[in-house]
Amino acid sequence: MSVSMLFLLSKFLVLWSYFDHFAKAQGGSDEPIVSGLSWTYYDSSCPNLESIVRKQLKKVFKNDIGQAAGLLRLHFHDCFVQGCDGSVLLDGSASGPSEQAAPPNLSLRAEAFKIIDDLRRRVHKKCGRVVSCADILALSARDAVFLSGGPDYDIPLGRRDGLNFATTAATLANLPPPSSNTTALLTSLATKNFTATDVVALSGGHTIGISHCTSFTDRLYPTQDPTMDQTFAKNLKTTCPTVNSNGTTVLDIRSPDKFDNKYYVDLMNRQGLFTSDQDLYTDSRTRGIVTGFAINQTLFYEKFVSSMIKMSQLSVLTGTQGEIRANCSVRNSGNVLVSSVAGEGKEAWSAF
């Protein structure tokens, strides 16, 4: 048998093993829908909702594709902390700072918040105040994936907006830092009923976007992480010459603005930017999943969609819970917001 045939056979066996593992672990690919959400929630009250959001985001991304990553990350940070209730969009109050002031959220793009409220204004102008900011954020994240080259998919709608933001302590507890290893990620996300496959799939969101040097220079200084490719490290040191450098770099060196599976190819080549990225390939529990996604983009898309739909339903408010905000950054009532513990006054990041 030729070397090329052996190579193809080995890829097939890895992929087959992953399919078999996934089938046993997951027991199916269809995600259940939380009571109160629906695939047709706004069909009567705001039938043009999705077209309004997508049409405007096409314009936004044509001008700056980088905003796609910003919107996707904003949705992640909303859902992981207190559920997908739009609480990350709330401004602080006299009683204390909001989730935005918590260290993991300081690097969220300011423009992303503006985009969401602009979409809210357009939707409410057309339909009245019937669509929540939480649903607009969920739709924007979906369109960020699709409009940057990823899969298109439906998401259930009907979320209501939360009345309070989470404390800094809760935010820190639910957003693992980029220095996390795979054990820390699996442990943290298991509390939200995510499997190893979910963790690897959602990490694939790093196929688009950028990072600040201080999120990964601990892998470069004072000693270089031995799991990092030498040439990759050398290039990063040019961008980030010191541990406290202010530069930025892309998360996926192969196709930084396209939502594809090249992030996993990066990991197989020891070119993952964060510890939380590269350790997914180092750890035996997730290495096969990374390999499967690197070999088969369709497989990655399928599992990413499944995990995103699952994530987008975390602790949602429905029915008469919460409210539909007239402004995404401010709750409707005049009651004082729940206070958040003061932030640390420095920029910080999370693994997602």
Q: Catalytic residue numbers?
A: 77
Task: For residue 20, count CB atoms less than 10 angstroms from its CB and return exposed for 0-12, middle for 13-18, buried for 19 or more.
Answer: exposed
Q: Are 211 and 248 in contact (CB under 8 A)?
A: yes
Task: Return the bridge partners of 160, or none.
Answer: 317
User: Six-digit token pair at 162?
Assistant: 């939360």
Q: Provide the 10 A C-beta neighbour count for residue 243.
A: 12
Q: Are 332 and 255 in contact (CB under 8 A)?
A: no
Q: Which residue reads 């990759």 in tokens?
A: 232
Q: Are 174 and 351 in contact (CB under 8 A)?
A: no
* Alpha helices, DSSP H, located in the chain: 3-26, 49-63, 66-80, 110-127, 133-147, 168-174, 182-190, 196-203, 230-239, 262-268, 275-282, 284-295, 297-311
CA–chain centroid gap for 102, Å, is 17
End-to-end Cα distance, the chain: 43
Q: Which residue reads 């499967």 in tokens?
A: 292
User: Six-digit token pair at 199?
Assistant: 């963790």
